[in-house]
Structure 1
């Protein structure tokens, strides 16, 4: 930084005999209008000392601030896209950082895929094998070391089996009558897209049964809710209920 100093505003009732300068960076000078070049970054206190013809003196100081040269470079801008951003495991995701920009050039593209793995490049791909939501972070660095980051979330879900739950259906004959009442139950109307593995019954009077066509005798008067639970080969279930009304003998 070249600085032109000026002591012409100094005054004396007779005459100023000398102008001495301490530029604050270890160098000195003299004269009413010296110039000095600062070559390092700092704030320097430049001191002027004037001496008149009779040896009287006065001093004054001014601060000169010297800063680091600016490169004119601006930081890059990171931009991330991903296809797809969600899906079932294993999920292959294609990442794209081509929308990132810089006033000069981007020197590197670094990726943190959020699952403990990393990658490089403008268009990496990555396969997620576990179930979670992962925050993926892109860091771009330009040719002068300035950087920016951008993040995107990737959601990975459990693979679906394609199986649908079964549908439970009951018929009963009869659905009402006097004690003792023998009822024939029928679950043959139940259905599943694969197969029903089990038929479980709660007859509503504290007893249970199994099978597609069980029978049960009610020995007390009441209204009983008989419940059928069907389970398919992949463990999915459905239930349905029918009421059986048992009366006292007339």
Structure 2
């Protein structure tokens, strides 16, 4: 009788679990893997271009060995932690990655737009506007934006320094298709997005990549209430085909304050 009582709970569990999918996993404690996918290049994908697909970052909570099966949406497949593929026709494709651990399989997908190899990429450009310094001397050459704030008649009894200025970031020299300064340029392409990242060292959207934030939009952007300092900035443009380009630059705000008995010159560039 004692052995019968010992078996009764186990028999009850098996009777309840037998019609329920996943119940044996509950008994064994096996959990499904997680899947992650990345592409290189991840943008401006064209026909006849080799693309590397990676499942790096995928994991199994139980430490089981994993298999990786890829389908590229054009009838072709691949396998392995990394694999490569080349599309021969332009179009929209859905790439799927299935990660298996011998018991479970987790599948994720991502849509990609493949353009013809002849598609022309846009060009992003941040105008390198520069102020002369407070003495009227020319700014140094270089691919950066420079602003001077000059306070030349401060009250000798007021030693407080409060720097605040407005800077216009200008992306109007960006183009799609071909350089408009080329007399032979004829472009049906056009830009549809101007996205500004105002600090490429700070991940403002929290996605783990500090260089892809959209802090402002528009061909130009009025950045208000800026103190003296230096900022690493990026402009990303996208055209009507979905092709993108970016331009990195640095914005410097320099300050000079003059009192009758004192002068402060804070230069960041």
TM range (shorter): 0.3 to 0.5
Larger of the two Rg values belongs to structure: 1
> Which of the two has greater strand per residue?
1
**TM-score, normalization: structure 1?**
0.40
> Which of the two has greater helix per residue?
2
**TM-score, normalization: structure 2?**
0.37
Q: Which has the higher contact order (CA 8 A, sep 6+)?
A: 2
